[in-house]
A and B are shown apart, each in its own frame.
Chain A
């Protein structure tokens, strides 16, 4: 199956700092989604972004499918941004619904 690598694996920030999380994938994709898992374990869909750029408040994401990567930007980070960020991709030609997850970036934001 397709390989999905996220970096960095861990990130520690002071409140107010900006950060960029990266997701690289090994093959063509027709679907890419970013998720946030909060410290209580809840998984929230942040972006559905197979290509292009989207913004939602302090978060934005860009996917460059031709170069096989996606970036998640967090600006003016807050303690509530802490948790694990996952990207997941769907391979062109694979069974519909088969999303492959990266191992995540663990983000800790200190006050």
Chain B
């Protein structure tokens, strides 16, 4: 059973298009995240949701819109794709304590290529 699953794994699209990536976790976690990994492998948080509420919203263009229909799902929609959006996008989940965050579990990543 895959703990954190995201689809699709690969996306190749033209500049200007809109695309979505879906993520689901079956770990019973209350917090989900989107991370972006650039070509130099640097991982940076984009968004986090706790029980469907947006908690972290980093300096990300508003072309990126996350949506969490329930605490087991977090989707990412990207409008008007640009060349610089090409990256691997990782979904992750964790429990959140009162003092710190629990172990982070990642999905397999979605490689987005914008032509």
A30 to B96 CA separation, bound complex (whole angstroms): 13
B103 & A33 in contact (Cβ 8 Å cutoff) = yes
Looking at A55-63, A72-80, A84-92, the stretch in contact with chain B turns out to be A84-92
Q: Which of A42, A96, A101 contacts B42 (CB 8 A)?
A: A101
Residues on B with beta carbons closer than 8 Å to the beta carbon of A30 = 99-100
A95 & B55 in contact (Cβ 8 Å cutoff) = yes
Residues on B with beta carbons closer than 8 Å to the beta carbon of A101 = 42-44
Interface of A is mostly: strand
**Contacts known (A45-B105, A97-B56); A50 close to B100, Cβ less than 8 A:** yes
A76 to B79 CA separation, bound complex (whole angstroms): 48
Interface residue ranges of B1-55 to A (CB < 8 Å): 31, 33, 40-45, 48, 50, 55
B43 & A42 in contact (Cβ 8 Å cutoff) = no
B103 & A48 in contact (Cβ 8 Å cutoff) = yes
B102 within 8 A of A: yes
A41 to B39 CA separation, bound complex (whole angstroms): 12
A99 to B104 CA separation, bound complex (whole angstroms): 9
Interface residue ranges of A28-48 to B (CB < 8 Å): 30-31, 33, 35, 37, 41-45, 48
**10 extra interchain contacts, Cβ-Cβ under 8 A, other than A41-B108, A44-B106?**
A30-B99, A31-B100, A37-B41, A42-B106, A43-B109, A90-B100, A96-B97, A97-B48, A97-B50, A99-B104
Chain A residues with a Cβ under 8 A of chain B = 30-31, 33, 35, 37, 41-45, 48, 50, 84, 86, 88, 90, 95-99, 101, 103-104
